Chain A
């Protein structure tokens, strides 16, 4: 029988200062980078045009650029893809220019027109076109933001209902940490923030919350079991007890995520990158952010009992894991 971390007893909470240092080392440079470069939003959000073409004969990005410049599409971003025979051409709508809703449409036609003129209609195939007007892009940005905020709020309410308000606050702070570190990661990797990447971020949020709740569930249980221990000891104990589970579940999740990252193709790769990183940061934050925050809240505003976390009463109708001590 393989056992990992069975009966582990590491002083995990004691190492939290180091953990803060690590996370700050990821976040701070990332935020500075973001402040200078901004997020690389996809054209779904900015409005603009994306044309993905596969060329029959090998072409350089430079040749494409020349063709596009001649065709009147200036300043487009050209990215070589796959084996070098595929290119993604992105032309964003500039906010300064007087743009109307059909500008993106026209640009798409201009791009293919320019390519046809330079290389001939038979020399390439259009694989993907996205043309998004500024209005749609703006709406989408707003919707994405609202979705993230609402999911925060809903989680907070659910956790307050199932646990206690301070657990919810700690979990949401941990989740906010995950979003910030993921944004820093996106900045380092220069990943394009598309709708699918926002979906990945929200999935990371769900995954991280899931992880935090597993630990908090154990904390809740241990608070009842070991009434004499202080919260720090209980947090340590709970994290250690759930460690084998954490390692195993992360193992299987990382396995599938890596399969996606390396095998599922370019289109889904940014999504897979965010997930792969998010699984690490989610696990990290469950242990090193959620639990210490709970401890900090407890120290600052002691709760009903001496240890601060009042007895949990399971809502009627739900199975309770709390053993009658």
Chain B
């Protein structure tokens, strides 16, 4: 079939056309947020060679269900639903060419190229966005239970000191509220800290929680602690708040309180149907910062499930960020009924287990519209919240088990350097080949040019992603690609040395080198295939480049160079030698 030069040239021409066709710039449409935060379709023309995250910058996340707070009932279903929610959120977020996919059965991989603010992207992906509207504990059930809880704690030998040690030990295991003690408070209290208390310091990490306090605090605020006599542990730690169900905890005691309420003694005596939730932001009372904690009726009167729309704005009056939401018709009916039943009570808006701002008093029935005040948040944070609320809540909390972020500048730098290395590498290979094989070397270099074109074309046709190791693999493969030509040329030289005519020597050279070329390349492809199988993004890119490169090098060395030799012999029928 490929006996005639014409048919060979047509085949090569076809391959060249296909490669160029694959590489031809095409119009790509992406959704990106405009300056005002509204999503727009933007089109651009570019070569269909995707750059990996390590080249263009971006963030790669692997997420799994977070089962540390209790097993998720139907994990497979939860992952599928979480996948859907994340996809919706990312679409709204507006990233050019994002990737959201399930890996195996229990992992979700999210890749967001060109992200400049990874923290924000993580927040959007990972946020549960579980919105609940809950009534505060207006019957004071929790308050009434406090003395019994304190007795149980005392009986169990739990003191603030022992809790402090527990907190210090498990500091790595993440408190529910990552509250860092404010240094200002520390300094004020440090000034009049009794010497005896310093000695109590638990070993290890920052034990401020256990060491600070006692006498000073007790003296300052004995008047407004919860209990009549301030002897119990909880009674010392919780101060009465401004509304029913609200309690205030000095900011530096947040981890201690967290540990205390997690104790079985407390949990056991917790009134039925009542839960405790932290406020999202601290409150200041005079010179001190307090974190509010709320006793809430466990059953929410409404959840974010019924939310149909959410819009962020800056409130003209308070100049605070606000998210306005709209409930579905059915949700609106429920909300109207429930709020009507609770006029005069305080309703907490609980987002991801945190109470947002101060729970407002319900003054009248609320139907399908409402708003969430975010206090100090800026407009962008409010927009992000609106986005995740609209996309729906995650069915279960997710934890990030792997993160890779590459800044855009580092990626750009890698591209420049990889390109430079490629140019220099190719130049060296060209010099070596032409210096050693002269005319035949030129033929090999021509074939090498086609090799580069075919490999890049193949990458574009497969929509493969170009990564930094991929670029390195490509550069390396240029050095290896000439191997097939070297094998053939050396054979031809040997055959010529044995006294064969030029035509026969060339024939024999190609035929005899064939076995070695195929065998050696198949083994390399096998190795590369296993690399592809186990590797992550960048390494996969490397494996694809390597495999494509090997195939292209076989095609060019065996087929293209052969054709070039045939043309040479055609032009000079009487030639007895060739510069090789």
Contact = CB atoms under 8 A, between A and B. Distances in A.
A260 B524 CA distance: 20
Interface in B526-550: 526-528, 530-531, 533-536, 538-539, 542-543, 546
A192 interface: no
Interface in A116-168: 125-133, 135-136, 140, 143-144, 146-148, 150-151, 154-155, 158-159, 162
Nearest to B180: A113
A106 interface: yes
Given A72-B206, A210-B523, A271-B469, A203 B546 contact: yes
B187 interface: no
A245 interface: yes
B172 interface: yes
B417 interface: yes
Nearest to A248: B486
A254 B531 CA distance: 22
Nearest to A99: B172
A11 to B, nearest CB: 21
A108 B403 contact: yes
B316 interface: no
Interface string A236-254: 0000011011001101111
B277 interface: no
Contacts of A248: 432, 436, 486, 490
B483 interface: yes
B479 interface: yes
B174 interface: yes
Contacts of B320: none
Contacts of A205: 527
Contacts of A133: 399-402
A56 to B, nearest CB: 13
Contacts of B399: 101-102, 105, 133
Contact of B405 (A126, A253, A259): A126
A98 interface: yes
Contacts, number: 259
B515 A253 contact: no
Interface stretch (A12-20, A262-270, A303-311): A262-270
A97 to B, nearest CB: 6
A267 B469 CA distance: 9
Given A196-B469, A196-B539, A255-B432, A209 B524 contact: yes
B479 A202 contact: no
Interface string A66-77: 000000100000
A213 to B, nearest CB: 4
Interface in B276-296: none
Contacts of A265: 413-414, 417-418
Which secondary structure dominates chain A's binding surface? helix
A285 to B, nearest CB: 14
Contact of A206 (B409, B426, B433, B528): B528
Given A2-B435, A150-B530, A248-B486, A105 B400 contact: yes
Nearest to B533: A147
A207 interface: yes
Contacts of B422: 259
A140 B537 CA distance: 13
A130 B403 contact: yes
A101 B531 contact: no
B468 interface: yes
B520 A268 contact: no
A319 interface: yes
B64 interface: yes
A143 B480 contact: no
Interface residues of A, number: 89
Contact of B521 (A100, A210, A319, A321): A210
Contact of A126 (B407, B473, B482): B407
Contacts of A203: 473, 476, 527-528, 531, 546
A38 B81 CA distance: 43
Given A125-B407, A214-B487, A136 B414 contact: no
A287 to B, nearest CB: 15
B516 interface: yes
A65 interface: no
B472 A260 contact: yes
Given A146-B534, A245-B490, A265-B418, A128 B429 contact: no
Nearest to A220: B515
B511 interface: yes
A150 B530 CA distance: 7
Interface centre among A132, A136, A206 (most CB of B within 10 A): A206
B420 interface: yes
B424 interface: yes
B417 A217 contact: no
Contacts of A195: 535-536, 538-539
Contact of B479 (A211, A213, A254, A319): A254
A214 B479 contact: no
A130 B542 contact: no
Contact of B172 (A98, A211, A213): A98
A244 B401 contact: no
B403 A131 contact: yes
Contacts of B468: 267-268
B77 interface: no
Contacts of A103: 172
A52 interface: yes
Given A101-B399, A130-B404, A199-B531, A158 B526 contact: yes
Given A151-B530, A199-B535, A102 B520 contact: no
A202 B402 CA distance: 24
A147 B531 contact: yes
A129 B546 contact: no
Nearest to A319: B514
Nearest to B418: A264
A281 interface: no
A272 interface: yes
B377 interface: no
Interface string B423-456: 0111011001101101000000000000000000
A159 B524 CA distance: 12
A311 to B, nearest CB: 15
Interface string B470-512: 0111011011101100110010011001000000000000011
Nearest to A214: B516
B515 A319 contact: yes
B428 A260 contact: no
Contact of A259 (B414, B428, B535, B543): B428
A159 B400 contact: no
A255 B422 CA distance: 11
B220 interface: no
Given A249-B482, A259-B428, A265-B413, A318 B523 contact: no
Contacts of A60: none
A72 B205 contact: yes
A320 B514 CA distance: 8
A1 interface: yes
Contact of A143 (B487, B497, B534, B542): B534
B527 A6 contact: no
A218 interface: yes
A244 B490 contact: yes
A89 interface: no
Contacts of A129: 118, 403-405
Nearest to B477: A256
Contacts of B538: 195-196
12 contacts: A100-B173, A133-B399, A203-B531, A206-B546, A249-B483, A252-B480, A255-B429, A256-B476, A256-B478, A257-B476, A264-B418, A321-B512
A-B CB proximity, top 10 nearest = A256-B479, A256-B425, A255-B428, A259-B425, A253-B479, A206-B527, A206-B524, A265-B417, A133-B401, A210-B520
Given A2-B435, A256-B426, 15 more contacts: A52-B410, A132-B402, A150-B533, A199-B539, A202-B528, A214-B516, A221-B512, A249-B480, A252-B479, A252-B483, A252-B486, A256-B428, A257-B476, A259-B425, A264-B420
